[in-house]
Amino acid sequence: MQAVILIGHGSLRSASGASMIRIAARLRERGVAPLVEASFLNYSRPTLAEMVEKCHAQGATTVIVQPYFLIEGTYVQQDLPALLQDVARAYPDLDFHVAPVLGDHPAMVALARRRVQEAEADAPRRRPAGLLFLAHGTPLPAANRPVYSVMQQVQVQMGFTYGQVGFLDCNEPEISQAVQQLVEDGARYILALPYFLHMGRHVREDLPGILAEVRRRYPAVTIHLARHLDYDLLLADVIAHRAAAVQEQLAAMPCRPAGVGREAACRAGRAQVVMAHWLAPSPKAQLAGSLESVETAGTLLERIGG
């Protein structure tokens, strides 16, 4: 029996993960898998270990872990694999597989467009107009490619003259620098979209504070703040698509040992190997909104010398 477990970052604000929990409920209603649950990497509960235990008790034999993250930053590339290694040790009879992040799936473009349209219903656009994505940032700058991809697609599709991504942390340009660039380019109206999934401290406090400061700096420029991504069934569409892609890969695998991230090899009969892997998609795939592939067990075994 398959289980899909969403895993989000978690927050000190206990209600910030409510949207992901609602998305899991919608996926359960759709029958994406016999079991669908939600979990958190940090701060919040339930944890991944708790949800794996629950699904195992209900008869799961395969667990697809769906990172509820926009990009493959450090949490996905480093923290999640380490956590999954620890959890998997307690369940040698389970197959674990990791789906790609939300990325620049076409439904993410549609969701960003929806938030822009909602915002502009309240504050009609003035021209020349700039689109500003407010993103968190990551110590792995290349992981931000999907954010740029979505922003650029929305900019073109919705007719914004200028577009920028501004980062709260880790990367440049910072948000104030991105606003400055838009103003220097000629924008007199800026639609700022918080490209965040949850209503955590950054969305509730940090971003409004930063925008208040830049509004004081540029009083002649209208800076309108849209709603963050939040809860939307388009997110359920992305995850359903991601999970289906992994399920198709699993169905095609000739050899399916249990476990994740250990050094034994399928062909050696020791039944412990990383079964799925999220890959950084090529720039071409990014721009096309293509689904990232999942490595087969054979390809991965060759790569790690198993």
- Segment 230-257 shows an average pLDDT of 89
What are the residue numbers of the active site?
9
Q: Which segment, 75-79, 110-114, 296-300, is predicted with the most confidence on average? A: 110-114
| Residue 274 pLDDT greater than 60, yes or no | no
pLDDT for res 45: 85
Lowest mean pLDDT among 39-53, 138-152, 183-197, 282-296: 282-296
pTM value is 0.82
- Note the pLDDT of residue 171: 94
Report pLDDT for 121: 92
Model confidence at 101: pLDDT above 70: yes
Q: For position 225, what pLDDT does the model report?
A: 96
pLDDT of residue 246: 93
Residue 21 pLDDT > 50:
yes
Mean pLDDT of 117-141: 93
Mean pLDDT of 159-182: 97
Q: Residue 65 pLDDT more than 70? A: yes
One DSSP character per residue, the chain reads: -EEEEEEE---SSGGGGHHHHHHHHHHHHHTSSSEEEEEESSSSSSBHHHHHHHHHHTT-SEEEEEE--SS--HIIIIIHHHHHHHHHTT-TT-EEEE---STT-HHHHHHHHHHHHHHHHHS---SSEEEEEEE---SSGGGGHHHHHHHHHHHHHHT-SEEEEEESSSSSSBHHHHHHHHHHHT-SEEEEEE--SS--HIIIIIHHHHHHHHHHH-TTSEEEEPP-S-S-HHHHHHHHHHHHHHHHHHHH-S---SBSS-S--TTTT--------B-PPPHHHHHHTPPPPB--HHHHHHHHT-
What pLDDT score was predicted for residue 258? 55
Q: Domains in the chain, please, with CATH?
A: 2-103+232-304 (3.40.50.1400), 106-225 (3.40.50.1400)
Q: What is the pLDDT of residues 209-225, one digit of tens each?
A: 999 999 999 999 999 99
